[in-house]
Structure formats: structure tokens, C-alpha cells
Amino acid sequence: MTESTLTGKSMDAGGTGETMIELTGVEKWFGDFQALKGIDLVVGKKETVVVCGPSGSGKSTLIRCINRLEVHNRGRIVVDGTELSDDVRDIQAIRRETGMVFQSFNLFPHLTILENITLAPRQVRRKPKKEAEQTAMDLLTRVKIPDQANKFPGQLSGGQQQRAAIARALAMEPKVMLFDEPTSALDPEMIKEVLDTMEQLADSGMTMVCVTHEMGFARAVADRVVFMADGAIVEVNDPETLFTSPQEQRTQLFLSQILVHPS
Amino acid sequence: MTTTDPATRTSEPAATPPSGGPTGMAWVRENLFPDVWNSLLTLTLGPLLAWGVYALGRFLFVTGRWEIITVNLTTLMVGRFPRDQLFRLWIAIAILAVVIGLALGVANSVARAAAVESGDDYHRPWHEPIRRFGPPVTLLIVMGVFVRTATPLLLLAAALGLAAVAYRLGRMIPIRRRGQVNLVVILGVIGAQLAITGFDGVPRSVWGGLLLTIYFTVGALLFAFPLGVAVALGRRSSLPVVRGTCMVYIEFFRGMPLVVLLFTGWLVLPFFLPPQFPTPDIVTRAMVILVLFTSAYVAEIVRGGLQGLPRGQREAAQALGLSPWKQTRLIILPQALRSVIPALVGQAISLFKDTTLVLAVGLTELLQVARIIPGQEDFRGQGLFAETLIFVSLIYWVGSYWMSRESQRLEAKLGVGER
Ligand SMILES: Nc1ncnc2c1ncn2[C@@H]1O[C@H](COP(=O)(O)OP(=O)(O)OP(=O)(O)O)[C@@H](O)[C@H]1O
Ligand SMILES: [Mg+2]
């Protein structure tokens, strides 16, 4: 595959064709170590992009740059028309529009599930308590754990916690959802309930960037799959093509490994 | 045994439940004489212990000349506080009784509501209040023994009654008004001090005894706690100047013996103040030193709590778009403080005991009174130090023990390390 076709695939917005996230030439260093080596990627509105690749390839770093949990050193990141800069207002604006779900859930253990979900809408969006709680209950119903509302995170199973974390992110009514290996800390029987929630979310037209190695999920939901290695995008394609006839050797190697040892 | 594992039950149907433990001789053999060494230990320590208990009991109830406490009870409580102004103290106690009662009442209804919401079954065993208030009540009873007239007892009972009424009231206050209740508590504390010093009252320089000890403990805690939290946050600031300043602050005050600091505040500080600046009185200076000293320790404790939090907590708060200050106030601090409650209470206990050191700068707090009164004309040369020291020890011990018990209760309630 030539340079130009790769760029073409990664820079073609999927979904509705309009651009939601645009990364151009994004580089990130941790000290002397370059974790991202010039990432170009466009994510279209209502598109679901799955990012996969070997450990340490920079997947987390990539999506953490999108909401400024990491600061990129070079290149441009534009989310819904706002460019990330050092301006705190731009950062806050982008974070308000971007929900994030973490591998380790990161629910606030000192607050109930309901408080976890209503916190940001009340504090950031200044929603009245009643309204925020109403929305929270609707979301909890959507992720199928309405009866856990008044428990503390520690009293829930991993799968329930992750669905609560998804509800918490959704409560801010974000335009983009970022997922960083949302199922890799879960027992196998809980993975499905979280993937179902994510699939349902993608079907509802949410723009999503998911770091995951769940092939089934990628096949069913992703518009495009991005394969990364060593801080660079190696290959971008629709899931069927990428999984069945990968063009690059790196991709083939990686796929053969995870098919032997599914993660 | 109320529950049995079903597996064991089926495999050993004939097993009888263990009885309530060995009794009589069996207990003695098992616990006191299980082998040669333990028997030896029992035979040596047993008589020693028995003799100690006997000697103490004999002193407490037979040979001790407790009239020195009876005569000086007021002095132990308030030092040289003018006796015709004692009514101000009672007013202050009444104010404090009301606000503390209110605060406890509100705290109780908050706990109740939280328990109901999270589906826990909120019930307190009937003996909980007895266990909680046992130590201070015991102390009050001991003091009651030494009281000569009924007036203080009646007034104390009245104050407790006030507190009880306020507690009931506090439980009726809607939870969303608890912010205002906090304000009332702060106003009450200020009001209590004003009731004593204000309106041509008694300046703090003549306060003494337990009054001064409590004043230093509570006052220093009230200021040292927020200051310490602020310094701990500053210690982790991204601004090098702030971080450096806070680090120097912590290391300086932790590296100095409290007595040295107190002497410095007493003797050296006046020289550094500009001449037209009025030198604050010695109580203020001692208070400031106690605050600075304690806040440095509080800062280190809180910093430990901050460091112990997983990084994901702040990241999750950031990702939700909370402002940096709200991330800290709503997510980071509540968790960090919860995790260090035991250490913070330990610091409070230390402070309570360390207030004895203000006697070095000429203040007559509780311990100093205990040292002075055996030299009074009536008792001079009779060496009644044991009586007074035992009496103040009891006060320090009950205070410390109570604080540590309350902290354990708080920990259990907040489920430190569970949630
Ligand atoms: N805070 C950091 N400081 C230094 N190096 C870091 C930091 N975060 C990540 N790295 C390095 O950057 C590289 C990319 O890390 P990243 O977490 O993005 O990988 P990943 O693809 O998400 O891997 P995994 O599948 O294991 O989560 C790794 O080599 C990692 O060691
Ligand atoms: Mg990762």
C-alpha cells in the first residue's frame, strides 16, 4: 500500500461525511521517547472508528490527546470546529463535548452512582438537580442498571460499573465518545453487556473512537478500523477488509497473534 | 453459631456446634498456664500486677489527699480567671452546647438520609450513645465528686439539656440547609469567645487551666486544618514558586521543636515586628505558633492522602470538563481527606497534649496549674504532686481516648478503604 492510499483512507471522513475530529501531523513525546509519530486521522460525524494495535503502540496516547489528558507536541487537533490549544477555554469546550470511558472505569468511589452521573451536568452545565437526576435515571435505564442508582460504585460488578461510567459520560450529552479498552478489565461474562451498550450507542448515531481488541464488536459496529504500531498508523480500512485481507505485514502479524491468543 | 456452611453440614452431620468457650479451670489452664514459659510469666507478672492495682487503689481511695483537688477545682478548670466573671464562661458553654447539639443533630439526619438512600438499614444499637459518651461522662462524674456546691452541677446539667434540645432541633432541619448550620456553628464559636472577652470581659491573658488547654486545642485545629490542606495542595502545585514555598514551609516547621518555636514567638518575634506595629499578646503568639506547627504536619498527612489517590480519579474529573478547582474540591479532596482521617485525628490528639508546652512561655494551662497548686500555702511542703498529676492525667487521657474512639467510629461510618 502506498503512502497516498493510506492517507486517503485515514483522512476520508466516514459516517455522514462531515468532519467531527481532525488530527493532522500529531506528534507526542514523553521525554526522549516519541509515542506518536505524525498521526493523520479524520473521524466523521456519527462514525465509529476502532483503533487496535500491539501494546505500547500509542493507542491510549492518541485518544487521550483528543481531550487533552495528554498534551500533543506538534500537529493540529480539531474537535467539532474547535482547535485544541493552550487556551483553557478551548480545552474546557472540547472536554464538554467529549465523553471518555476508561479501562478501569474511574467512577468516583465516594459518590453514589446517581451522584457520579449528575455531578458534571450540575457543576459544568449548571443543570437543575431535578432535571439532572431525571436524565441520569433515563440513562441508567438505557444501560439497564436503573436499580443501582443509589449504590456506591464499590457495590457494583465490573460490568455494571463500566455501564455506569458510560452513563456518566453520556450525561454531558457529548458529541464524541472516546473509549480506551473499556472491556479489558472485565470478566468474560461481563464483556458482552458493555459491548451491547456500546453497540446500541453507535446505532443511535454517536461519534465514537474505541480502542479495543474485540474483533466481533469491530466487525459489527466499526465503520473503519485503524491499526497502529510504534506510534504510527499502519493501516486503515473497513473491518472486513482489514481483518480478512490485511495489506501490511505488521497487521498480518498482529492479527495472527491475537487470533491465536484472543485478548 | 447461627450460620453453618451447608457443605460442612452435609459432610459432618454429627458435629456439634462449639460451645461458648472453655470455662473455669479449663480457661485458666489454656490462657495462663499453657506451657512452662507462660506459666513463669504468669507467676511473675501476676503478683506485680496485683500489687500495682492494690497500691493504686489504696492511693486513690485511702491515702490520697484529694482535698487539694476539691479546693482547687475551679483553678484547675480556669486558672486565674476572675471568679466574679465566671458567669461569662457559663454563657459561652451554653452557646457552645447549643451549636454542638445542632451540628450533631444535622450530622445525624444526614447519616440517616444517606443510609436510607443507599438502601442500608440504618439503625443504631441502643448502647451506642453510652459507648460514645461514656468516657466524657465518666470524667464529668469524677469532677462531680470534687465539686463542693451544687451550682456548677446544675449549670452543667442545664447545658447538657440545652445540647439535647438543640440536637432534636438539628434533626428537624432540612438537609439542604446544612450549609447555614455550619455558618451558625462558626458564629457560635466566635460568639462563645466574645461572651468571655467582649463587653469589658476577661482578656485571654488571665485565662488558664482546662479552659486555656481547650481554647488552644480547638482554636489551633480550626485554623491549622484549612491552612494545612491549602499548603498540601500548594505542595503539589504546578507553579514552582508555590511548590517551593510550601515545601520550605513544611520542612521548616516540621524540623523545629515546638518549644523552640514557642520561645521564638515569645522572645524573638517582637524584635522583628516594625516598632509601630503593636506586638500581639502572648496567647495570640502561642496560638499562631501552634497553628503554624500543626498545619505543617496536617499538610504532610494530607499530601500523603493526595498521593495515594489513583491518577484516574483526576483524569475522569478532567474528562468530564470540571474546572481544576472543582476537580480538587469535589473529587480529589473528599477522597484524600477520608483516607487520612486516622492520621489527622492522631495529629489532633498530639496537639491536645502538646498544648502543655505553652507553660514554657509563662501560660498557666492545665498542667501548669497542677504544678503550681501543691505549692499553695495550705499544701506547701506536703508533696501533693501525685494527686494533681493523676487528676490532670485523667483529663488528658480521657480527651485523647475519646478523640481516637470517635475517629474509629467515623472511619467505620465512612467505610474508609471500602468505597
Ligand atoms: N506518562 C508517560 N510517560 C512516559 N511514557 C509513556 C507515558 N504514557 C505512555 N508512555 C509510553 O508511550 C507508549 C505508548 O503508550 P500507550 O499507553 O499509548 O500505548 P497503548 O497502545 O495504549 O498500549 P496498551 O495496549 O498497553 O494500552 C508506550 O511505550 C508507553 O511506555
Ligand atoms: Mg492503552
Does domain B210-419 fall under CATH 1.10.3720.10? My reply is yes
| pLDDT, tens digit, 9 for 90 and up, residues B104-118 | 888 777 777 766 665
Q: What values do phi and psi take at B365, rounded to 5?
A: -80, -175
Q: At what angle do helices B240-254 and B282-308 cross, to 10 degrees?
A: 120
Question: In which band, very low, low, confident or very high, does the pLDDT at B173 lie, cut at 50, 70 and 90?
Answer: confident
- The answer, yes or no, to whether any atom of ligand 1 lies below 6 A from the CB of A212, is no
Of all helices (H) and strands (E), which one includes residue A36?
Answer: strand A33-44
Which ligand is nearest the CA of A57, by number?
A: 1
| pLDDT, tens digit, 9 for 90 and up, residues A242-254 | 988 888 888 888 8
In DSSP terms, A30 is beta-bridged to A33
Residue with cell 477555554: A89
Residue B57 has pLDDT above 90, yes or no: no
Which ligand is nearest the CA of A71, by number?
A: 1
Atom of ligand 1 nearest to the CA of A70: 1
Interchain pair A92, B321: CB under 8 A? yes
pLDDT number for residue A15:
64
In DSSP terms, A83 is beta-bridged to A78
pLDDT number for residue A99:
93
Residue with cell 446517581: A114
This model of the complex carries an ipTM of: 0.89
Write the residue with the smallest CA distance to atom 4 of ligand 1.
A30
pLDDT number for residue B15:
58
Q: In this structure, which amino acid lies at residue B30?
A: E
* Residues carrying CATH 1.10.3720.10, chain B: 210-419
Question: In which band, very low, low, confident or very high, does the pLDDT at A58 lie, cut at 50, 70 and 90?
Answer: very high
What mean pLDDT comes out for the span B40-69? 82
Q: Is B117 on the interface with A (CB under 8 A)?
A: yes
| pLDDT, tens digit, 9 for 90 and up, residues B134-152 | 887 888 888 878 877 778 8
Looking at the complex, report in whole angstroms how far the Cα of residue B120 sits from the nearest Cα belonging to chain A: 9
Report d(CA B160, CA B96) in Å as an integer: 10
pLDDT number for residue A263:
47
Report d(CA B175, CA B105) in Å as an integer: 11
Average pLDDT of chain A is 88
Interchain pair A110, B316: CB under 8 A? no
- The answer, yes or no, to whether any atom of ligand 1 lies below 6 A from the CB of A263, is no
Q: Which three cell numbers stand for residue A211?
A: 480502542
Q: Which three cell numbers stand for residue A220?
A: 459489527
What mean pLDDT comes out for the span A169-186? 92
Atom of ligand 1 nearest to the CA of A61: 18
| pLDDT, tens digit, 9 for 90 and up, residues B388-402 | 888 888 888 888 888
Atom of ligand 1 nearest to the CA of A31: 4
Predicted TM-score (pTM) of the model is 0.81
- The answer, yes or no, to whether any atom of ligand 1 lies below 6 A from the CB of A10, is no
pLDDT number for residue B3:
46
